[in-house]
Amino acid sequence: MESKQKNIKKIGVYTSGGDAPGMNAAIRAVVRTALYYGLEAVGIMHGYEGMINGEMIPMDSRSVGGIIQKGGTILKTARSETFKTVEGRKMAYEQLVKHNIDALVAIGGDGTFTGASALLNEFDIPIVGIPGTIDNDLIGTDLTIGFDTAINTAIDAIDKIRDTAESHDRIFIIEVMGRDSGLIALKSGIASGAEAILIPELKTDTEDLFKKLSDVRPDKLSKIIIVAEGDEIGGHEIATHMKKRFPHFDIRLSVLGHIQRGGKPSCQDRVMASRMGVAAIEALLNGRKNVMIGIVNNNVHYTPFYNSIKHLSEADPVFIRMSNILSI
């Protein structure tokens, strides 16, 4: 590939916001692709906070050896209130200049790209983003890094809880991650045969839920209800209401929590993260900036940050309809 950005010699890579399985695979791909094209690679520790503090470490091929199978991020991640200010971003840019960093690869979600866009607009440093978030809530890619692993982790836990539910004739309300997006709940709920799925994109009608639980297979005493943490009522409230409405049922609440973020990334997340890492470096060398790398219909896709950071606000009606049909 012929480089169109002759002035790029050193690239910094960082992870920001919530960690996601597959981030290490993306870091590995970014570093090794940079080296392949004769560039220097620098890892920026602790996201934007580390950028402000000058936590830069040179990286070579060995630096990223043996990490593709590891969850989390070797570069660590942190949220930074200071970076949200103009003064904070100026401090970060001064550190980039001090360390001769010519371009950046940002791995994270909408908060990461919001910060990257502000830094680029104020100081015109080329930045390309890689979507790393288990919520899969960014526009411009079919899947984000970490989503496939997260839903498989959730499914594994739900399957195990169902074993207990059926053994004791219990109703389990299982809360999964998804503050703004119900995709983890929707996909894992369908895959695990949940009797009901509650997500933030749809208004929760408790009366409809209770009627469904009473009318659909009333002889089946063990049921699974999946609730996204961002649902307007939430798992705790649903459990409280259900215990009052159905005192004869044995109702339990299980919150999966951060277990969904950890663990070894799936094959799909590893391969996708690797592909995005290669594409990010090649995008920078071809003069692209202020864009997020995505995979759409198996093709590399470039979405401007100002579009990618907008949350998907509507659940796919196909999956909603499917969950309603299959839960009878």
**23, 263 Cβ separation under 8 angstroms:** no
Query: What DSSP string runs through 134-165?
Result: TT--BTT-S--BTHHHHHHHHHHHHHHHHHHH
With contact defined as beta carbons under 8 Å apart, do 28 and 61 qualify?
no
- Alpha-carbon gap, residue 204 to 143, rounded angstroms: 26
User: Rounded to the nearest 5°, which phi and psi values hold at 23?
Assistant: -60, -40
Q: What sign has the CA pseudo-torsion 303, 307, 309, 310?
A: negative
The rounded distance, in Å, linking the Cα atoms of 190 and 226 is: 10
Q: Which residues are catalytic?
A: 135
Whole-number Å distance between alpha carbons of 100 and 94 = 10
Alpha-carbon span 267 to 314, nearest angstrom: 28
